[in-house]
Chains A and B, each alone.
Chain A
Amino acid sequence: EIVMTQSPATLSVSPGERATLSCRASQSISNNVAWYQQKPGQAPRLLIYGASTRAAGIPARFSGSGSGTEFTLTITSLQSDDFTLFYCQQYSIWPWTFGQGTKVEI
């Protein structure tokens, strides 16, 4: 199965700053990547699909990029609500697999 490796495991940033989260696939997956946000005790929420397309209702401060094996989620001007967990997911080859997550903290 395809292994998705996220880095860093924890990212310390200040409110208003930019956060850059990375995700690497163990083999090329074109742009078949989604990003999710998960707050404690809640279900994941879709942020990005197709590596760079924002889901409905997602603010423009969230953006995704990359293709092949290297992907990035960028959050500009971090707000208090953004300090939580983020996961990448590949849907190129079954089984779909997630990264282990990046925690964005103050």
Chain B
Amino acid sequence: GNSVTQMEGPVTLSEEAFLTINCTYTATGYPSLFWYVQYPGEGLQLLLKATKADDKGSNKGFEATYRKETTSFHLEKGSVQVSDSAVYFCALSVGNAGNMLTFGGGTRLMVKP
């Protein structure tokens, strides 16, 4: 079956620190990979995505590279801000499953001024 594993949180950083949130996956077939973000009191929203190996998704200073050889899609940001405090979810979808997403457990990020 399909599964997504994320590093457990919370991750606590100071403003302007470098962020990495690890994500690895197992999938039957060739998945598309996604990062969603959930700000306090809100629903999830798509942050970035990559649909094939070696693709890099990027948005709002965040980046993640689809690594087929290590089955990973780690999220990175060079300099976090307090406004980046949120829960981050890694997810995948496979082939003709359309928009059927399998989510990881989520990682809470807390950025202190």
Is this pair of chains taken from one and the same complex? Answer: no
